[in-house]
Structure 1
């Protein structure tokens, strides 16, 4: 089903409302984390459970988002997801303890698990393939306003009002998304609804639970090492059983056969590595500025917004860059450039001029966003339309798992650094090793993209057509 051309670019703007809300929520939380930890009488390193639990909820429930959209209609599920996300936001704002706060984040993640993947599914079924990069830019440009205003807004609220309001501001945004979705989004669904893979859903849920929380607890002393080992072994075993199960299932909850598509495989694997690094940055950077440099939450947020501002600038040029150079050249070179900018964050010191920090974050945000646009477009560039539902769920799961692992890697690296060098006290130089670690992970993603053919995804970028036109001329 294809929406009329006059409305094709309206759909991504409406879906961007929910992306704006989710991105605003995550960036505001990252800035407010040290303050919330103090209010809940816990350590900021322990409160990263609030980030991990949300990402965990996304990873567990995203696999069923595509099936629910096909079974009950994308518009209904999209609107229901917004309502759940808003309800979870209210509960987060009412949290009085670490346990209650984490449980509220889990519930909020249930809404996010359906909201963004189903929105992207509607988008990909609503536009022609040659319009995909343009539609992705329309989708992500308004959504990037959230990360731009999120850090300074979050810093302002926790410094001068109350941290509870960083969640309650989602309510008017969510209501706007509900109204626009009801008025303008058509009820896009697959003509054939595949059977629900309940056994596969249970196996993946158990697997993600074990690996995410087991990895989160390594070396922290939160639970005994025997329980950590049991979580990791049990999670890995469950996912291995799922792989065996999926080979025998006609319609598995996560369709592993999609990895046979070269561009999809590169987008998922390379994107996983790159997002691990990027997922750690919003956790590490505000903590460095506030706890390492002694800045207020408002001042910290006034600096970190620059990354998102750079990302917005990139959206104006992404299509032309991909058309000129193609996916492979852009992804390889840009992975290395972005990795270098992530590493530079660890070299900041309290005496580093604020203007220099702003400049580095602005330019780094530009290249990072170019990488995200390229990865997102490459992942679905050659997926058949009748498999877009499964591909959207699969790639979304990989995205959320990578972000969760990134937060875990950043927190673990910081914990080990503190234990080895500063007796557990956070100092200005405690963040060099964590940023070096995640920067190297981002650089490794370039090796995945080197294997792509030169014309990979050319139907989406127009790169091959551009080259042929030059030869003909």
Structure 2
């Protein structure tokens, strides 16, 4: 018997084949996250070469980045309904195949229009891949194994965005730019093969009418808000274009709030009445604001404030990834001794303190010492993501998991985008008179530390029993 069918059994007592499957399932999902994260960051380094090959300006090629963003925003809210209606494993495999198709179209593009079409197809696949993958994970394990499964999943998922710029630079320098898209083909085929081999099938849910108006309102809200945040991040200021986009997004959100009173909305906001879910999504959003911002700030801080070279910065960010992987050594004992509530509070406070401590480093700081700092921060980073990811599904009935996952996916994407934009605005404000120097970084770093303290305070809303189903 598979240990997933008997939550009372500890993993130490199950057969080796069951243990292998317990790792294969999250690593299969994480491998697809790696492909998506790699693609999202790899293209930025090759925009000048793409522009030259397609006979357009580098500025015009940025439309390809926007096309992906818009496509993901449109399809993200529909992921839960599709997984429940057509079976999660099928939708997950279809999303990978859609991503492969989009990558192929991008790779053979002869003009900018074809590239935009390819990126839109990639966005359709990416919008389904991440949330449906998390949903499969939540349905494949008993709740008391979910944190461990999440910790395996995030390892490849976090490596993709960090390795993207490095791999993109190498491909652009030594190969043709088209290989930044063709590289997804073998990765995608491997992902499909692993999904067919390792992922479980789940019976589709009872047919529910698709909420077309809700889908449109959520899509408009996400496209408008995320586009305005992209403008803010690019300009480091909140101008008229950003204000217009944000206004449209807020209006669409308000309209959806009124629309969601119906019986079967595409995003069921009534799920926020579940305390553990609400804390995981809303309180966790504050943590994800910081996590998104640090991935933007750290490379700039190391080079501009501490004088590290681009190569040294790459090694330091790799150390961050190694720390994220190493969390597997300590997350289970921490959960047992602290519990969900105290772990999230203590972890948030510790991350805030580390961010403040980062300001103590000076230009002559030892790279070894800085690497040790990032290793520790990476561990705390991954503990936060694993625990929040599991808490999202705590205490929810099986038929509520798809809807909960869709809400979480939308909020997570917004939070990460907000984090980058807030960091860019604060950095721009601090450097308005003196230019971007080391003195520009204390303001955004201290502000992010304060956000982590707010996140810690939000986790205090958890009560006895919340998240107990995640404990072994």
- Bin the TM-score by the shorter chain: 0.7 to 0.9
Gaps of 5+ in 1: 463-473
Post-superposition CA distance 1:433-454 (Å, at most 9, x none): 2333333222211110011114
Distance 2:101 2:449 in 1: 36
Is residue 5–residue 142 contact of structure 2 (8 Å, CA) maintained in 1?
Answer: no
Q: CA RMSD in A?
A: 3.5
| Residue 75 of structure 2 is aligned to residue 58 of structure 1 | no
1:70 to 84, 89, 94: 84
Is residue 93–residue 164 contact of structure 1 (8 Å, CA) maintained in 2?
Answer: yes
Match of 2:402 in 1: 389
2:144 to 130, 149, 153: 130
Match of 1:285 in 2: 298
Equivalent residues in 2 for 1:46-445, closer than 5 Å: 54=68, 57-90=71-104, 105-146=119-160, 153-154=167-168, 156-157=170-171, 165-218=179-232, 225-247=239-261, 249-289=262-302, 297-345=310-358, 348-422=361-435, 426-445=436-455
Distance 2:366 2:111 in 1: 37
Match of 1:467 in 2: none
Is residue 218–residue 256 contact of structure 2 (8 Å, CA) maintained in 1?
Answer: yes
Match of 2:460 in 1: 450
Report the alpha carbon displacement of residue 335 of structure 1 after superposing the two structures with TM.
0.6
Is residue 349–residue 428 contact of structure 1 (8 Å, CA) maintained in 2?
Answer: no
Distance 2:199 2:233 in 1: 47
3-state secondary structure, aligned to 2:365: coil
Is residue 154–residue 298 contact of structure 1 (8 Å, CA) maintained in 2?
Answer: no
Report the alpha carbon displacement of residue 126 of structure 1 after superposing the two structures with TM.
2.1
Post-superposition CA distance 1:208-242 (Å, at most 9, x none): 22222223334966999444333222211110010
Report the alpha carbon displacement of residue 371 of structure 1 after superposing the two structures with TM.
1.0
Distance 1:289 1:91 in 2: 37
Taking a change above 3 Å as real, the CA distance of residues 244 and 265 of structure 1, as seen in their structure-2 partners, is: same
Distance 1:439 1:418 in 2: 19
Report the alpha carbon displacement of residue 273 of structure 1 after superposing the two structures with TM.
0.7
Distance 2:119 2:305 in 1: 27
Report the alpha carbon displacement of residue 288 of structure 1 after superposing the two structures with TM.
4.0
Is residue 49–residue 177 contact of structure 2 (8 Å, CA) maintained in 1?
Answer: no
Distance 2:245 2:431 in 1: 25
Taking a change above 3 Å as real, the CA distance of residues 220 and 455 of structure 1, as seen in their structure-2 partners, is: same
3-state secondary structure, aligned to 2:430: helix
Distance 1:100 1:341 in 2: 45
Post-superposition CA distance 1:112-132 (Å, at most 9, x none): 110111112122222222322
Distance 2:198 2:300 in 1: 41
Distance 2:65 2:373 in 1: 25
Taking a change above 3 Å as real, the CA distance of residues 223 and 284 of structure 1, as seen in their structure-2 partners, is: closer
**TM-score normalised by the chain length of structure 2:** 0.83
3-state secondary structure, aligned to 2:433: helix
| Residue 466 of structure 2 is aligned to residue 460 of structure 1 | no
Is residue 237–residue 425 contact of structure 2 (8 Å, CA) maintained in 1?
Answer: no
3-state secondary structure, aligned to 1:421: coil
Taking a change above 3 Å as real, the CA distance of residues 159 and 127 of structure 1, as seen in their structure-2 partners, is: same
Report the alpha carbon displacement of residue 374 of structure 1 after superposing the two structures with TM.
1.2
Match of 1:471 in 2: none
**TM-score normalised by the chain length of structure 1:** 0.83
Is residue 303–residue 310 contact of structure 2 (8 Å, CA) maintained in 1?
Answer: yes
Point out the more displaced range, 89-98 or 283-292: 89-98
Distance 1:223 1:338 in 2: 27
3-state secondary structure, aligned to 1:193: coil
Is residue 153–residue 301 contact of structure 1 (8 Å, CA) maintained in 2?
Answer: no
Point out the more displaced range, 155-164 or 75-84: 155-164
3-state secondary structure, aligned to 1:211: helix
Distance 1:288 1:92 in 2: 33
3-state secondary structure, aligned to 2:370: helix
Q: How many residues of Structure 1 are paired with residues of Structure 2 in the alignment?
A: 452
Taking a change above 3 Å as real, the CA distance of residues 48 and 360 of structure 1, as seen in their structure-2 partners, is: farther
Post-superposition CA distance 1:129-184 (Å, at most 9, x none): 23222322333345455467556545655566576644443322111011122233
Distance 1:51 1:440 in 2: 31
Distance 1:399 1:115 in 2: 14
Is residue 152–residue 298 contact of structure 1 (8 Å, CA) maintained in 2?
Answer: no
Is residue 31–residue 191 contact of structure 2 (8 Å, CA) maintained in 1?
Answer: yes
Taking a change above 3 Å as real, the CA distance of residues 338 and 224 of structure 1, as seen in their structure-2 partners, is: closer
Post-superposition CA distance 1:284-305 (Å, at most 9, x none): 2234445666765444222211
